Structure formats: C-alpha cells, structure tokens
Structure 1
Amino acid sequence: MSYVKPAEFAKQMVDAGEAKTFLSTRDTLIRAYMAGAILALAAAFAVTITVRTGEPLLGAVLFPVGFCLLYLLGFDLLTGVFTLVPLALIDKRRGVTFKSMLRNFGLVFVGNFLGAFTVAVFMAIIVTYGFSTDPDAVGQQLGEIGHSRTVGYAEHGAAGMLTLFIRGVLCNWMVSTGVVAAMMSTSVPGKVIGMWMPIMLFFYMGFEHSIVNMFLFPSGLMLGGDFSIGDYLVWNEIPTVLGNLVGGLTFVGLMLYATHGRTGPSRRVPAGTTEIDVAQEVEAKKSDAKERAVVADS
C-alpha cells in the first residue's frame, strides 16, 4: 500500500522542518528561487487559460500542475516552510532555534520573490513584445488583477483588510494541506492527487497566496495596472504573508502535530474490566462495522 498513515507523516513533517533549518544558504535560496519561478509560471498559465477560454474553473483545475512539479522537485515555498519549520522548534529538535527558523523564513521569502519576479519580467516582455506594444488580453487581465486585489480591498478600509487577511489564512490552510498531502503517499500518482485537490480549491476560490502575488502584482505594475508599490505591500503582500503564516501553522501544522505527533492519553479502562472484556468489546465493534458495511453494499 502506498498510503502513509497520519502518525507516520506527522513525524515526516517535523523531520522536514528540521532539515530545512539546517540547509545551507546557497541551497535554500536556489530551491526557493525555483519554487517561486515555477509557481509563477503556473499562475501565468492559469490566467492565460481563463482569458482565452472565459472559464475560470478550467484555469483553477490546471493551475496545480506547477505546485505538484515544484514539490516533486524538492523546491520550497514560503507557505510550506511556515507550516513545517515551526514544528521542529516546537518539538525541541536539537539545534533548531527561533533565530534559525526566522533565517529560513527570510531566505525562502527572498528566493521566492526573486523567482516570481523573474517570471513577471519575462511575461511582461512576452505580452508586450518587449514593451513595444500595449499589453495583450492576458497582460490587461494581469493589470486588472493587481488593481482589484489592492485598491479593491483599500476601498473597504478595515473590513477590506480583515477580508484580505482571512483569505490569506484560508489560502495556506489549503496550500499547506497540499504540502502535507504529498507525504500521505509513497507513489508519485498518490502524491499528485493529494496535492492537486486543495490547490485547485484555493485558486478557484480567490484566496490570497503570498508567492503567487509576488508574480501577479509586479507584472501588473509593469503592465500599467492602476495601483502603486505601496498599495501592493500594504493592501496585499504584508497582510497576505501574515495570513498565510497563521493559516498554515494553526490549521494544518499544529492540528496534525497535536493529534498525530503528540497524541493525548487514551481514556482509562473502567475499574474491574479484564483483558478478555476489552478483547470482546473490540471484536464486537469489528463485527458491527462489518454488518454496517454489508448493509451499505446491499
């Protein structure tokens, strides 16, 4: 069986977080750069599909190809390390410190941004023929995305900021579920299927992903989007990063670690209960489960 049980991949999560903190600066930056670039290409792919077909769902269905590729290649996204690395600190792995965790966050952020920005420049060149013509339909859409997801939030003030933050939380709840889902199987098809589902969900729902936005907004600015760098940072990137951190760590990392990595004590067996009584109870439950299965099949 290629399925890995939760108790087993919970340990893998902590091991992965520990390994990332000890990775060299060179390797951390390379892996983060490539992850940002591949995810940005997938975002450009999805936007192109949406514009040319008029069907956003199709773009969302195909967007996860980039996410799956980058994780199968062993590259790192900020959203993933937000979930895994803190677990190594919480688990008190030797040599893992708060400082080393922040170092990893910072290096991955820089690498992701440089990779995404590289693709943003490339796409801006493509859709304008080297800035010699006005942006094509895809380029115009990229500019509009940047406007609607910065100024669009700012128009609602505090309510807009709250909405942006919550979209960031929900995004990394799903994205980090995809990261963990890759550990649920030892086969490539199993890993891909596990990753594909939550990533498709986040993209179609319009949740805010800090790395995808590192591509969308710089490209939008280069293509004439009606917003500023300040709008991008204040009304998208910074709140999105914070939301991604809260979503991935709280709803994925800590939850799985708490119940599968550090399980609570089992309930006590009532006084006077013998081993035979316990065995009989277990067998009775198994028998009931089989009967229910037979009834359901019929």
Structure 2
Amino acid sequence: MSYVKPAELVTTLIDAGETKIFLSTRDTIIRSTMGGALLTIAAAFAVTVSVTTGVPLLGAVLFPVGFIMLYLLGYDLLTGVFVLGPLAWMDKRPGVTIGGVLRNWGLVFVGNFIGAFTVAVLMAIVVTYGFSEAPNEVGVAIGHIGEGRTVGYADHGAAGMLTLFIRGVLCNWMVSTGVVMAMIAKDVPGKAIAMWMPIMLFFFMGFEHSIVNMFLFPSGLLLGAQFTIMDYLVWNEIPTVLGNLVGGLVFTAIPLYVTYARAKAPRNETPRRPVEPRVSRRRGLAGSVASSAASAPTAKV
C-alpha cells in the first residue's frame, strides 16, 4: 500500500524531527536556504499568474508547486520544523533537548531568510530591468501586498494585531498539515496531491506565512512600497512567526502525538466470571438422579 497509517506516520515524523535536530550547521543552512528560495520563487510565480490573468484562484492553485519541490528534495522550512523538532523532544529521543530544538529553529530561520531575500533581490531586478525603470505590474502588485499587510494591520491597532496573529496560526495549521501529508504517501503522485490541498487553501485565503513574507516585504521595500523595515518586523514578521509556531504546535504536533504516539496506561478492569450455561429444571433433576445412581455402590451377588 502507498498509504501510511497515522500511527506509523507519527513515528516517521518523530524520526524526521530527530534527524533535523542533529543535522550539521552547514547542511541545515544549505537546506533551509534552498527551501526558502524554492517556496518564494513559487510565491512570485503565483503573484505573476494572478496579476497577468486576473484570476487569483489560479495563482493559489499553482503556488503549491514550490512547496512540493522543496519537500521532495528534503529541504527545510521554519514552519515545518516548528512541528518536527518538538515531536522528537516530546518523545524523549536520546540527546534531543530544548536547546537543540531552538538551535534548529534559529538556523532554519536564518537559512530561509537568506533564500527568500535572494529571490526578492533577483525578482526586483527582473521587474525593473535592473532598477533602470519603474516596476512593472507584477512589481506594483507585490508592493501593494506589502503595504496592505503592514500598514493595513497597523491602521486597526490591537484588532489588526490579533487578526495578523490568528492568520499566522491558521496558516501553519495548514502548512504543517502539508508537511505531515508529505509523509503519508509513499509515491510521488500521492505525496504531491496530499501536499497540494492544504497549501492551496492557505495561499488563497490570505493567511500569513513567515517565509513567504520574507520575500514579499523585502521585495516591496526594494520596489518603493510605502512602509518601513520596522513596520515589516512589528506589524508582520514577528507576530506571524509566533502565530505560525502556535498553529503548528497546537493544531498539528500535539494532537498527533497525544492520540497516536504517547504510551497509554493499560486499563485495569476486573475480569468477568465465566457464564455457565443454563439448563432446564427437568433436565437438571434428571442429571442429578443419573449422577446419584452412577455414584451409588454396586451390590455384590
């Protein structure tokens, strides 16, 4: 069968988390840099499709190609390791510590940012002909996204911050589900289909993904959008990272671990007494007479 059942799947997820925590610094940075780059080039692709066709749904349908490519290649995203590392720690794998989990998160964050920012610079060059003219329609659209998702939230004050955080939570509920679904199938078509669904959902609904935003907002700044680096950090990136962390842990890692991986104590039940077959009164009397006759002493002649 190409389908991995949830009980077996959780063990695979825990093994993956353990492997990532013990991965070398060099490999973690390289894999997370490439993961951030592939995801964000797909985000640029999705924005381009949405702008040129005028059909945002089509951009959302096509965006998951980046996610699928990076996970098939074994690259890392911060939103994924928010789930995998804690699973290995909760399972008390030897040598897995909170410090190791935090180290893994930090390295993946740095690598993802390097990859996303690199794509932001490259795309800024593309949409401005090497900064020689004003951004084209795709560049203008990217700038508007950055403004709407920073200044737009700030205009609503605390309510805007709450909305931003909840969008981050919902985003990584879906994205971390995509990470899990990547391991629920054994063949490439099955993996691709399983990952496609939750990733398409989060992108079309406008949820906040910390890695995608590492591309969108630096791109907007490079293209002259009307917000600042501080706006980006305070009114998007930091709350989004926290929301992504909560969404991955609360809605994916903890439910899977509690219901499938945690050892459950055996139930202490009092054994039931065996039920004897009921016989009729007449049959019982006849049996008693026969039994008495059989046990009576035989007369000697």
TM-score, normalization by structure 2: 0.89
Q: 1:49 to 1:273 in 2, by over 3 A?
A: farther
Cα offset, 1:91, TM superposition: 1.1
Output aligned runs, 1:177-196, within 5 Å: 177-196=177-196
The amino acid that maps onto 1:94 is: P
Output aligned runs, 1:225-264, within 5 Å: 225-262=225-262, 264=264
Please name the residue that 2:204 is paired with: 204
Please name the residue that 2:80 is paired with: 80
Cα offset, 1:272, TM superposition: 2.6
Q: 1:71 to 1:270 in 2, by over 3 A?
A: same
State how far apart, in whole Å, the 2-side matches of 1:30 and 1:66 are: 17
Please name the residue that 2:66 is paired with: 66
State how far apart, in whole Å, the 2-side matches of 1:185 and 1:268 are: 37
Cα offset, 1:159, TM superposition: 0.5
Q: Which runs of 5+ in 2 are unaligned?
A: 276-301
The amino acid that maps onto 1:10 is: V
Aligned identity (percent) is 72
State how far apart, in whole Å, the 2-side matches of 1:40 and 1:274 are: 67
Q: Which runs of 5+ in 1 are unaligned?
A: 276-298
State how far apart, in whole Å, the 2-side matches of 1:163 and 1:62 are: 26
State how far apart, in whole Å, the 1-side matches of 2:189 and 2:210 are: 27
The amino acid that maps onto 2:72 is: L
Output aligned runs, 1:1-298, within 5 Å: 1-262=1-262, 264=264, 272=272
- Show CA shifts across 1:44-87 (max 9, x none): 00000000011110000000000000000000000000011011
Q: 1:270 to 1:55 in 2, by over 3 A?
A: farther
Please name the residue that 1:289 is paired with: none
The amino acid that maps onto 1:212 is: V
Q: 1:265 to 1:140 in 2, by over 3 A?
A: same
State how far apart, in whole Å, the 2-side matches of 1:218 and 1:29 are: 20
State how far apart, in whole Å, the 1-side matches of 2:179 and 2:134 are: 38
TM-score, normalization by structure 1: 0.90
State how far apart, in whole Å, the 2-side matches of 1:152 and 1:273 are: 70
Higher Rg: 2
> Per the alignment, in what secondary structure is the counterpart of residue 240 of structure 1?
helix
> Per the alignment, in what secondary structure is the counterpart of residue 186 of structure 2?
coil
- Show CA shifts across 1:3-22 (max 9, x none): 00000010111111111010
> Per the alignment, in what secondary structure is the counterpart of residue 272 of structure 1?
coil
- Show CA shifts across 1:109-130 (max 9, x none): 0000000000000000000000
State how far apart, in whole Å, the 2-side matches of 1:273 and 1:211 are: 62
